[in-house]
Amino acid sequence: MLEDLKKRVYEANMLLPKYRLVTFTWGNVSEIDKESGLFAIKPSGVDYDKLTPDDIVLMDLKGEKVEGKYNPSSDTPTHLELYKAFPKIGGIVHTHSSWATSWAQAGRGIPCYGTTHADYMYGEIPCARCLDKEEIESDYEKNTGLLIADLFKDKNYEAMPAVLCKNHGPFTWGKDGHEAVHNAVVLEEVAKMAARCEQINPRVQPALQELQDKHYYRKHGANAYYGQK
């Protein structure tokens, strides 16, 4: 069932070790098929060097496994809540990539210090609050998704396809799994550059809003002109 979807999700997951975003099994990619309402996700705890397309698990939007010999990623409830909250996205990535996770553990959003950041993400990359004791103990992964969705209720999740979860790590999303991985790579590089920027100049300020606008909107929106037709 949905063999092409499973193959795409397998390929997207294999990009995580390629771009050094995961250590051991610390990450996962999912992608949703809007027509069927099913999404495919990496199985929990399976090593990347042993992963095959047949290992990818299919889930429905009720959180029930539809197909797969393994249990789905333990982060599946988070992915599920994001698909329900963000109807225009088609893929989600979660990693513990070291630079982005360092900002998450510090409980800080990542300011937009330059045009690399502005090309992809509009404004400061937000850091969600830490879940409280009750939220952690009751339904941790689902509550993580609900927390992210609540944080973005007054934000444009397409213009900001990334979030940091305090004391945890990053999530990114996109039109499909591959774009979500692309955004995860960008997030890690931006996190690295921002940390180094603050080391070099502790008094650094975010880039001018006009510069941020120029770089974001030349790649996104009706008047974008970056790239080829």
> Is residue 218 classed exposed, middle or buried when 0-12, 13-18 and 19+ CB atoms within 10 A define those classes?
middle
Q: Which residues are catalytic, by number?
A: 119, 226
Nearest alpha carbon to residue 16 among 59, 73, 60 = 73
Nearest alpha carbon to residue 173 among 136, 111, 115, 120 = 120
> Is residue 139 classed exposed, middle or buried when 0-12, 13-18 and 19+ CB atoms within 10 A define those classes?
middle
- Classified as helix, coil or strand, 154 is coil
Tell me how far apart the alpha carbons of residues 14 and 1 are, in angstroms, rounded to a whole number.
21
Q: Taking the CA of residue 24 as centre, how many other CA atoms within 13 Å lie in the half-sphere pointing to its CB?
A: 4
User: DSSP string spanning 103-148?
Assistant: HHHHT--B---SHHHHHHS-SPBPEEPPP-HHHHHHHHHHHHHHHH
| Ramachandran category for residue 167: left, alpha or beta (phi over 0 → left; psi -120 to 50 → alpha) | left
